[in-house]
Amino acid sequence: MQPPAIPDHIRRLRPYVPGKPIEEVQREFGLTDVIKLASNENPLGPSPRATAALAAAVSDNLGLYPDGACFTLTQALARRWEVEPEQIVLGNGSDEIIANLGLVYLGPGAQTVTGAPTFVQYKAAAGLNQAEFIAVPLHEHRFDLDAIADRITPCTRLVFIANPNNPTGTIVRRPALERFLDRCPETAVVVLDEAYFEYADDPDYPDGLDYVRQGRNVVVLRTFSKIYALAALRIGYGIARPEIAAALQQVRQPFNVNTLAQVAALASLEDPDQVVRSRRANAEGRDYLYGEFARLGLPYVETHANFVLADMGTPARPYFEGLLRRGVIVRCGDALGLPTYLRVTIGRPGDNVRFIAALEQVIHDSASGR
């Protein structure tokens, strides 16, 4: 017996390819000491308050469903960001909110516009809902907001701007963003994906919530996966006009955010020091990597997030593989639409030093033909 045919738009979807897990590299290369600088995780780990809250929650009754409304966390976020609780929606990672935006706004005949390269889940949201996906090339590694505005039509429903962008680490600044928002028609929702918001320290970096508070058709996405270091628990959120947030509530799964994630996120919000420490460590690691890339003669893209793109000048895959053999996992740019680049997540000081030492060896080996 044949199983029913898979619809074409589902067949065309590609499963998300994550950075290689440490265990896989250990197995493949027979290594014990492997570091991963590939998925833009925070190497300092979560707040001790979050881990303590988690331990207590685990010994509570895990047999109960979570609070589907995320009541306490929603109230805390509303206070933190000075918005109404009705403007907030929690998700199983901000990934889920991206997917749910697709469910709400996309369908056959609808369009999504974004930059390229950028975070892959925007394309997935379009493909899953049979919407057209328009990717406008970045200009000098930045979202080209004028070119994006030129591609918006009456059928455009979602415009995704990752700010900072992944994989480039670049930002769009306030004046350019405001000009762009003024050009956007009311028929399109602009999604400002601020997964790396807390790392951005440029004085002209715009806070997307300003535009939500102005009542614009803007959805701001934030996450606890990055600076709060809770990626394993999967929790992110969106903030928008109440009508948009209500639609996102309607399409989500009943208990989409698990209890442990809610508890840890709430405790994290009560520890601003963890953010300050992480931001400081990230800036130090970033400056170290900039200095080393310059010493090695490798051009790099200035970052506003917790990862840096370095240009190897030739296809980066052999360097990526050489690093793997030395137990250092980074992201190869060919998977991200930047074939000569390596993307490295800023790690702890020792990890950054080890990455640079391994990279230097790989470069040396490749120059001597080994």
Ligand X SMILES: Cc1ncc(COP(=O)(O)O)c(C=O)c1O
Binding site for ligand X (CB under 6 A): 40, 93-95, 119, 162, 166, 193, 195, 223, 225, 231, 236
**Residue 99 or 356: which CB sits closer to ligand X?**
99
Closest separation in Å from C-beta 31 to ligand X: 25
CB 166 within 8 A of CB 119: yes
**Residue 110 or 195: which CB sits closer to ligand X?**
195
Position with the least CB separation from ligand X = 93
Burial of 46 (0-12, 13-18, 19+ CB in 10 A): buried
Closest separation in Å from C-beta 346 to ligand X: 14
Distances 369 to 21, 177, 298, 365, 366 between C-alpha atoms, Å:
29, 47, 19, 6, 5
Closest separation in Å from C-beta 223 to ligand X: 3
**Residue 14 or 370: which CB sits closer to ligand X?**
14
Closest separation in Å from C-beta 133 to ligand X: 16
- Distance in Å from the first CA to the final CA of the chain: 53
**Residue 245 or 362: which CB sits closer to ligand X?**
245
What span, in angstroms and rounded, lies between the C-alpha atoms of 283 and 314? 28
CB 319 within 8 A of CB 359: yes
Closest separation in Å from C-beta 91 to ligand X: 7
**Residue 168 or 352: which CB sits closer to ligand X?**
168
Rg (CA), the chain: 21
**Residue 188 or 195: which CB sits closer to ligand X?**
195
Cβ density class 18-42: b for 16+ within 10 Å, e for less? ebbebeebeeeeeeeebbbbbbbbb
Closest separation in Å from C-beta 183 to ligand X: 23
Closest separation in Å from C-beta 40 to ligand X: 5
List strands edge to edge, sheet with 111-116.
88-91, 236-239, 218-223, 189-193, 156-162, 111-116, 132-137
**Residue 232 or 357: which CB sits closer to ligand X?**
232
Q: What are the structure tokens assigned to 127, written together?
A: 């493909």
What span, in angstroms and rounded, lies between the C-alpha atoms of 301 and 357? 20
Kindly give, in sequence order, each residue whose CB lies less than 8 Å from that of residue 71, ignoring residues fewer than 6 positions away: none
Closest separation in Å from C-beta 329 to ligand X: 15
Residue of 171, 182, 166, 175 whose CA lies nearest to 143 = 171
